[in-house]
Each structure stands twice: as structure tokens, then as C-alpha cells.
Structure 1
Amino acid sequence: MLCRNIGPVDRALRAIVGLILISLTVVGPQTLWGLVGLVPLLTAFVGSCPAYTLLGIKTCRTDRLA
């Protein structure tokens, strides 16, 4: 199971960037490179970034007590 490591601001920015990149497949240069926007959109939806896990970065707060 993926550990949540993306905070709300990071998730919002990823979603916006993802949607902008995906829109490039419809307007603008109309190339399939806009599908790269699926990556930030997917990580925003899931709330976890594999690159953040590898680098030990965490932008979300943990409010849980162990």
C-alpha cells in the first residue's frame, strides 16, 4: 500500500499542472506529449509520489498518534 506523502497544496498544484498538460493534447501543439500530465494528475489523486518516497520527502502533515 502506498504511504501518503503529498500535502493538500502540493496535490492541488499537481492537479492543476496535470490538467494543463493534458489540455495540450486538445489545444495548442496537439501532441501526445500532453499525456505526460497524467503522471502529476494520478499522483495528486492517489496522494502519494514514488519519487518523494525514494527521496524521503513528505509534504503532508501527520496528525495521527501511534
Structure 2
Amino acid sequence: MKKNLHPLDRAIRGVVGIVFTGFAVFNGDYLQEPILEVLIGIFGALNLISLLFGWCPVYHFAGISTEKSKK
């Protein structure tokens, strides 16, 4: 699995992942729909996984890479 995320992209995914996962876990009674809460939590967790590994499956299948190529 080759990295396909630039460090800035990884940082943005980290912030998004923390915000969405935190919102899903600590939203209180703001969201009344449990399915939506689970989907938001999954979205946040997937962003955190992409942050850790530096690899995005969506980018992989689309043939996109924001990682700088080393010459």
C-alpha cells in the first residue's frame, strides 16, 4: 500500500476526523437520529485511519495522489 496523501492533506483529515468523531460521540441530544450519528462517526473514523496510514482508498481507486513524488 503506497502512500497517496500529502502531509497537509493528512493534517486536514486529522482535524476533520477528530471533529466528526468527537461530535458523533459527544453530541448529547443534538442529533435525534442514531443512524446519522453512526454514519458521522464512521466518516470521522475513516479520516483518522487515512491520517495514520497516509493512504486513502477513494484516492487509490480514482488514481489520485497528493503525495509529492521523490526524484
Instruction: Calculate the TM-score normalised by the size of structure 2.
Output: 0.77
Tell me, yes or no, if the aligned pair for 1:3 and 1:48 is still in contact at 8 Å.
yes
Q: Which runs of 5+ in 2 are unaligned?
A: 32-36
For 1:5-20, list aligned pairs within 5 A.
Answer: 5-20=4-19
Which structure dedicates a bigger proportion of its chain to helix? 2
State the AA in 2 paired with 1:26.
F
In structure 1, the gaps of 5 or more residues are none
Rounded Cα–Cα distance in structure 2 between residues aligned with 1:33 and 1:51: 17
1 or 2 for the larger relative contact order (CA 8 Å, sep ≥6)?
A: 2
Question: Which moved further from structure 2: 30-39 or 16-25?
Answer: 30-39
Tell me if 1:49 matches 2:56. Answer: yes
Partner of 1:21: 20
Alpha carbons 1:6, 1:47 under 8 Å: kept: yes
**In the alignment, residue 19 of structure 2 is paired with which amino acid?**
I
TM-score under structure 1 length normalisation:
0.82
Q: What's the Cα RMSD here?
A: 1.6
Task: Provide the residue aligned with 2:38 in structure 1.
Answer: 32
Instruction: Give the aligned residue type for 2:16.
Output: V
What SS does the corresponding residue of 1:11 show, helix, strand or coil? helix
Q: What letter matches 1:41 in structure 2?
A: L
Q: Residues of 2 paired with 1:51 and 1:32: CA distance? A: 20
